[in-house]
Structure 1
Amino acid sequence: MSATKPTIPTLQAIRDRMMADVAYYLPGSGNRPYKSVLSVLVTVFAAAVWSLYLFADWILRQLDPATADEAWLVIWGDKLGVPRKPDTVATGSVTLSGNGTIPAGTLLQSSDQRRYVTLAEGVAGSPIAFQSQAAGYAGNIPTPSTLSLVNPIAGVQLIGSATAITGGLDAETLSAWAQRISDQLQQMQQIGDADDYARWAKAAHTAITDAWVYGNTPALGDITIYCLLTPGVDAVTVLQEAEGVLDRTRNVCGHVILRTPATLPITVRIAGIPSDARPFITADIAALIQSKRTRTAVLYPEELERLIANNTDAEFVLLEPVRKVIASDTEIMSLSGVTYE
């Protein structure tokens, strides 16, 4: 039998019930004016009772991490050893031409106004490490780009070449944190089956967005976990850090191996597309393939044809792929390029 949450009566309902009780126990009091002393006292007591109902409801919500407020999630997390995963800064390196010195703390800026700060003093012509000024995923630029100096430096060119900027992650959402705390509450009942190891892997690092498990793979006693990562992060670092966490969580008898799925490259070739429509089609195709970053995803040529037709009225031919593409259990689709002929 499922539990039913009690309904909180309204303030008016409580007052009406109290007035009815007063009228029953004090015959004749029901005809008193609304602003009589007795009526005012009933209203005051009704408000007090109503506030107790609200407080009891709030307390009840804090007893379950799934409904608890953020302040109580902190308490739950501290007690169960499940702290909230913090946001992280994006990092990279930049090379500026010239013959000057670039001080530590020098501000750099991307073309879309994202700002970065150098971590140590460097010289023009050599790579200089930097990090994003603000933590979070927005600081990532996954491909090589250019950064400019916010304030000019004598002898140094304003614009320099930067490596890919990666590693920035947003703080864990409250709902995801609450779910991990709830999972930890159930940990006493976990025995180390495939679902347990998948949960442990996803809890081991913010950058692990999904995981699936193969027991006795590649050998008896081995547990291989394929981890889907946030795009742009350093896979080697993430898996090493996650393995360190899992070593404290896993069953003693299991040897855990973390891997990332192999890349299944998707090449799209199209004929007959005018040049003005190509950037929009390329962007939509990239978004479609990004949505296919799931286990055993399937890409149909018809999906691409509909997407292309939505961006142009020209007659076109989809040259590749001409058959549906299916990712295996150990593959994740990735767009390798869009070619127009």
Structure 2
Amino acid sequence: MNSIPTINNIYSALEKDLKSKLNLDDDQLRKALSAMTSVFSAQLKLLYLHNEDVMRNLYPDTADTAENGGQLERLGRIRLNRNPRPATAGVYTVSLVGEENAVIRANLTFKANENSNAPSFLFVTDNETILTGSNDMIQIRSFEGGNASLLNVGDELTITEPVIGVEQVVVVESVDEQPKEAEPISDYRQTVLDAFQLEPQGGARTDYRLWAADVQGVRRVYPYVKNGDSGTVQVFVEAAEGDSTDGNGTPSQAILDEVAEVIEFDPDDTRPTNERGRRPIQAILEVLPIDLVPVDVTVTGLDTDTTAIRQSIESNLKIYLSTVRPFISGADLPQNQNDVLYAARLSAVVTDILDSGNFFTDFTLEVNGVAGTSFKFTGSNIPYLRNLIFD
């Protein structure tokens, strides 16, 4: 795309062209056309910016979100038939003590107790239940989506209004549906790109990646034929940061189970049943979590050292490490290969956020406790920032 000229560039070009066409001297031009060229140049600048905006939103890798006036979601609807997935609510089974024939009405609300995993969050019943008076269980749903409302087995909640014949406190017995975070725009964009770039091939590596994209909370999968067992396909799953169990990509068992389900069977129930089978009949499937590999970074002699600078360095290092991933031949494009972590590039990430007058004297990279200048990540190995040390 051609670069956009500045308003001064446009102004000068207009001034020169008008002067030539109207045969005016400098003084006449200055008096007669100064205001006109100022208006024209500003309007033309807007047209240039509009054209840039249109061009940028033709393609999913550069398109803005709808919130910012862009077309990313529209491109996603065309290719994926969906918008970014919103946060989902958690669903839980809770036990309660009540008399026989006592009624738990629909839309009854519960508040998580302070000692629970989600203190003060509200939950609701969707259906009416008549108690038997012995070992009664009901199902409740969180009002809000996302992991902030996640309850653990054993957490207690209190009914927010008196219910005749029922004790106020209930206890979580099981997590029926784990809440999930809204799909990050960066993950949605990558899923759209994969849908454009990868073609279904009847059980090749690309298919496992496309199939796994049907599960909310999955950032990426890495499919391989198991070493020493050509009939077994191992699919290593990386969860989105907000839906991982550790904030570094480790998936929950619920996500692993969902990935196994969508690889077996297309979840789109609008299609005929005989068109929804996916896994090749001869393939044995193993769905496994990725393996985290710790990365330790030491920045020595930082000249201007503040909490804000340290936080920016840590944030940018994590963002960069999230782009270093194993290369899957046949599922990843060669031009996107980024499976080697170089100390020099990681050092440049730190340099990029420092002011021109700030500097550091040394930079050390260790991967899994071993110092070096480059490390290649293969298989199920995923880097994460374990320690950031300032000496």
- Could you say which TM-score interval applies, normalised by the shorter chain? 0.5 to 0.7
Give the secondary-structure state (helix, strand or coil) at the position aligned to 1:94.
Answer: strand
**2:155 & 2:21 partners in 1: Cα distance?**
82
TM-score normalized by the length of structure 2: 0.58
Paired position in structure 1 for 2:9: 13
Alignment of 1:279-290 (within 5 A): none
**2:21 & 2:380 partners in 1: Cα distance?**
75
Paired position in structure 2 for 1:240: 261
Deviation of 1:114 after TM superposition, in Å, equals 0.9
Count of residues paired in the alignment: 265
**2:63 & 2:282 partners in 1: Cα distance?**
35
Indicate which of 135, 138, 144 corresponds to 2:148: 138
Paired position in structure 2 for 1:53: 48
Deviation of 1:162 after TM superposition, in Å, equals 1.2
TM-score normalized by the length of structure 1: 0.65
After superposition, what is the alpha-carbon deviation per residue over 1:217-250, rounded to whole angstroms, capped at 9, x for unaligned?
Answer: 7854442323355445634345213432398696
Paired position in structure 1 for 2:170: 160
Amino acid at match of 1:9: P
**1:145 & 1:193 partners in 2: Cα distance?**
44
Give the secondary-structure state (helix, strand or coil) at the position aligned to 1:21.
Answer: helix
Paired position in structure 1 for 2:88: 88
Greater Rg, structure 1 or structure 2? Answer: 1
Give the secondary-structure state (helix, strand or coil) at the position aligned to 1:245.
Answer: coil
Paired position in structure 1 for 2:63: 68
For structure 1, the residue ranges without an aligned partner over 5 or more in a row are 265-293, 296-323, 333-341
**1:330 & 1:61 partners in 2: Cα distance?**
34
Alignment of 1:87-106 (within 5 A): 87-99=87-99, 100-106=102-108
Deviation of 1:262 after TM superposition, in Å, equals 10
**1:33 & 1:227 partners in 2: Cα distance?**
68
Deviation of 1:331 after TM superposition, in Å, equals 11
User: CA contact under 8 A between 1:201 and 1:208: conserved in structure 2?
Assistant: no
Paired position in structure 2 for 1:118: 125
For structure 2, the residue ranges without an aligned partner over 5 or more in a row are 114-118, 246-251, 268-274, 293-324, 327-368, 370-378, 383-391
Amino acid at match of 2:196: L
- Percent identity, aligned pairs only, is 23
User: CA contact under 8 A between 2:211 and 2:262: conserved in structure 1?
Assistant: no
Quick one: structure 1 residues 263 and 147, their matched pair in 2 at CA, closer, same or farther if it must change by over 3 Å? Answer: farther
Indicate which of 176, 182, 185 corresponds to 1:174: 185
Amino acid at match of 2:85: K
Alpha-carbon RMSD: 3.7
Give the secondary-structure state (helix, strand or coil) at the position aligned to 1:204.
Answer: coil
Amino acid at match of 2:12: D
Give the secondary-structure state (helix, strand or coil) at the position aligned to 1:31.
Answer: helix
User: CA contact under 8 A between 2:93 and 2:137: conserved in structure 1?
Assistant: yes
**1:185 & 1:263 partners in 2: Cα distance?**
29
**1:10 & 1:258 partners in 2: Cα distance?**
57
2:227 maps to 1:213: no
Quick one: structure 1 residues 143 and 252, their matched pair in 2 at CA, closer, same or farther if it must change by over 3 Å? Answer: closer
Deviation of 1:164 after TM superposition, in Å, equals 4.3
